[in-house]
Structure 1
Amino acid sequence: MAKAKKQTARGRKQDRARVASGQKYEVSYEAKKTGRSASAVKKAVKKVGSSRKEVERKLKGR
């Protein structure tokens, strides 16, 4: 079995720039951060995509 590659700094940065709507902990983090419900976060991800900046902008109503 091949050993998994270590995640690079670039990979971690790209991962933080996205919201994975299938990951409960990411949705709850965004919900707590923006003061909105988890379902509102999921709807925002579905509407604007997984970009964290765009999701936060949508949730703040801008």
Structure 2
Amino acid sequence: MADDLKDRGPQDRSRINVNEAHELRYWTQALGVTEAQLREAVQAVGASAAAVRKHLGK
């Protein structure tokens, strides 16, 4: 079975890169938030996935 190249997750799951479309798709779906909410959280607490989860209450 071939890999689904459209469903790429982040290369480093401990950090969130809001400048990559595939990471935005992954993290908004994984966290159940909008792109705007994700961008605000990253701006508020930085790119650490753990810090963003905590900020969002996830």
- Do the two structures share a fold, i.e. TM-score over 0.5? yes
Number of aligned residue pairs: 48
Contact 1:20 1:26 in 2 (8 A): yes
Higher helix share: 1
Asked if 1:32 is matched to 2:57, the reply is no
**Runs of at least 5 residues in structure 2 that lack an aligned partner in the other structure:** 1-10
Deviation at residue 34 of structure 1 after TM alignment:
1.3
What is residue 45 of structure 1 aligned with on the other side?
Answer: 42
What is residue 18 of structure 1 aligned with on the other side?
Answer: 15
**Runs of at least 5 residues in structure 1 that lack an aligned partner in the other structure:** 1-11
Taking every aligned residue pair, what percent have the same amino acid on both sides? 27
Write the letter of the residue equivalent to 1:26.
E
What is residue 4 of structure 2 aligned with on the other side?
Answer: none
Contact 1:19 1:50 in 2 (8 A): yes
Q: TM-score, normalised by structure 1?
A: 0.65
Distance in 1 separating the partners of 2:26 and 2:53: 12
Deviation at residue 57 of structure 1 after TM alignment:
1.3
